[in-house]
Structure 1
């Protein structure tokens, strides 16, 4: 049996615009996400770029607003560090300058507190007895959450954590 192929439905420009507006209104989107979706809907590249320009003009699509929402959500809800958030935004092809501006919106004290809370929570589930291995596991976990090594070290030292 052959694998099922995706059936691409070619939309006309007006239908694609209405669908794209709904897609952007439902949730903040990056330009790249919308561009990919428009191509998925079978539009030509000239139409895709025109529609994206129109969505930006009508404020359905705003890369800066998207970057702020992304940073806010990933930090406040998922408790990600700045490194992981930055990588996520780069994957969505958000310009570096917008990424840096959005990351500045994270309060430094809240950031350090988030690292501390994540460390304390992880320490409760690490069963390792050897203090060096325990610290290694903790630091590795915090690095995987996207926190910076120097801040991890500072937080662990300041709070007498392993």
Structure 2
């Protein structure tokens, strides 16, 4: 199983509430850059946080890679959700190649939990950072980090 983990692109600093913060133009450009790393991947599912910036990030990815299916919203992908709970939800899924679009600190903690077996490892995930983890089963400490990229490392 491949689990792709994407942090949303840069968002507005202020909105009526945190969940309502939208992507900036720079955030859209960041997402465009990293989306090309997903081109050619046969994604079974894209799961996104219900927050506006994560939904917009997922929509941008879908557009860039011509993803043919709808984005699924996962309430357990918000910034303060517990990565152990995310593993529980992932364990119930049958997909072999899925993309999660979420937020800090959840994204770094989830990578650490999958790869290191705890959630305190340091995995830098700037806005639109993308990681790919391969695992036989979504459980703590058995994943192998295949890739960790930020938009700043990619050509414009």
Fold shared by both chains (TM-score > 0.5): no
Q: Which has the higher strand share?
A: 2
TM-score class, shorter-chain normalisation, is: under 0.3
Q: Is the radius of gyration larger for structure 1 or structure 2?
A: 1
Higher relative contact order (CA 8 A, sep 6+): 2
Q: Which structure shows the higher helix fraction?
A: 1
- TM-score under structure 1 length normalisation: 0.24
